[in-house]
Chains A and B, each alone.
Chain A
Amino acid sequence: TQLLEQSPQFLSIQEGENLTVYCNSSSVFSSLQWYRQEPGEGPVLLVTVVTGGEVKKLKRLTFQFGDARKDSSLHITAAQPGDTGLYLCAGVVRRDDKIIFGKGTRLHILP
């Protein structure tokens, strides 16, 4: 069974703090996407990483793809209440093109 372990599952921190969310797997991915989802809405694509070791920045969000393309991290600097939401990672498995989702990280930023 192919798994994409995402941690932590829940995170509640004060505005202004930094945080990191991790996605780990034993599978090698062709690409990996990060999404943010608001309640009752569809996931919104934040970034796609493709190359091992790749780092992408989106304002206060920094995304990194592991050298072996088996893991990824999302780092948020100076979190704000608007960052609150469900963060999902999704990887395309290199071997069979199947897409697998992590279970998500529910992030709550307290003002």
Chain B
Amino acid sequence: DTEVTQTPKHLVMGMTNKKSLKCEQHMGHRAMYWYKQKAKKPPELMFVYSYEKLSINESVPSRFSPECPNSSLLNLHLHALQPEDSALYLCASSQWHRAYNEQFFGPGTRLTVL
């Protein structure tokens, strides 16, 4: 199984809502990532988990809260988002967070904040 899955595929939420994005991989990878991608731009790194511990937070606002319940799952909890947070949210995994860092991406969640 060389797949990273993400749910939901699309999400529309209001600024007062609380929602969660989910990501799952069964490749035995020990590093997982959240990226945000705006239209016509490259992915921007948000968070890195290594061995289920948060190792990088790229100064992401606290309205985004990541969680790694186990080595296969990664969540992104959303609360009080702004319309400018609308984007494609991508999850990725790699064998580990080290120099040889081949990442596999999920299909993404298209988030719209009204």
Q: Chain A residues in contact with chain B, CB under 8 A?
A: 30-31, 33, 35, 40-45, 48, 50, 88, 90, 92, 94, 97, 99, 101-104, 106
Contact = CB atoms under 8 A, between A and B. Distances in A.
A23 B96 CA distance: 24
Given A92-B99, A104-B41, 17 more contacts: A30-B101, A33-B102, A33-B103, A35-B105, A42-B6, A42-B92, A42-B106, A42-B108, A43-B43, A45-B102, A45-B103, A45-B104, A48-B102, A88-B42, A97-B99, A99-B103, A104-B42
B52 to A, nearest CB: 18
Given A99-B45, A104-B42, A44 B102 contact: no
A30 B100 contact: yes
Contacts of A42: 4, 6, 90, 92, 105-108
B53 interface: no
Chain A interface helix/strand/loop/mixed: strand
B102 A102 contact: no
Contact of A92 (B41, B42, B88, B101): B101
A40 B101 CA distance: 24
A42 B100 CA distance: 20
Interface residues of B, number: 23
Interface of B: 4, 6, 40-43, 45, 88, 90, 92, 97-108, 110
B100 A31 contact: yes
Contacts of A106: 40
- 7 closest A-B pairs by beta carbon, nearest first, are A30-B99, A42-B105, A101-B42, A92-B101, A48-B102, A42-B108, A42-B107
